[in-house]
Copies of this chain bind each other. A is one copy, B any other.
Amino acid sequence: MRYGVLGTGEVGRALAGRLVELGQEVTLGSRTRDNPVAAQWATAAAGRARAGTFAEAAAAGEVVVNAVGGPVALAALRTAGAEHLDGKVLVDVCNPLVFLDGEARLDPVESDSVGERIQRAFPHARVVKTLNTVNCRVMVDPGRVPGAHNVFVSGDDAGAKEQVTAMLGEFGWPAERVVDLGGIRSARSVEMYLGLWLTMFRRFGSPDFNIEVCRAG
């Protein structure tokens, strides 16, 4: 499968690196063509890895992964171009994290989500929100954290969620640990969870944790 991963930060590099390891073809997209981080990454990953612009990465991917920060996600995807997203599975892993007077805050929160905004802005993309509830190292290596902890998927397209569940399986998340929360509207509930995640991160002093959903019956 060919993936276009948008964003050369820690999250984008972790996902792109893991996908290359798994034998996928990956184009890591950045705002500019001559992004040194992306170029270095592509050189290090070699073979199946390339660096390019957001548009080149999106065009190259059969699946596109949004791994830029929540506040710039829509701008990055507009730069990538709707024509390179239409009909494709668009995996959104970002969080609506902003800093206000040095304080971590969420925007949007509760009445909307970045996942929904992306789906509204690109109605022909098949948006699936997932993985934003864990640190990027846990995203691609769930075994870092003990226990049968869960990830979530939210999206309006059942086929896209199935495809993303398969990708998660390759990362090490068995299908029974992927909780389908329903339509893309449920993205707001996993984005809001960031508040609790951040509080636990500060308390624990490590991002190597996650939650397991325990159910009766």
Contact = CB atoms under 8 A, between A and B. Distances in A.
A208 interface: yes
A182 interface: yes
A95 to B, nearest CB: 13
A214 B203 contact: no
A86 to B, nearest CB: 28
A212 interface: yes
Interface in A105-134: 105-106, 109-111
Contacts of A181: 199-200, 203
Interface string A182-217: 100010111011011011101110101111111111
A214 B211 CA distance: 6
29 contacts: A105-B110, A105-B111, A109-B109, A109-B110, A109-B192, A145-B214, A146-B214, A147-B212, A179-B200, A179-B203, A181-B199, A186-B199, A189-B195, A189-B199, A190-B196, A192-B193, A192-B195, A192-B196, A193-B193, A193-B195, A200-B213, A206-B216, A208-B215, A208-B217, A210-B213, A210-B214, A211-B211, A211-B212, A212-B212
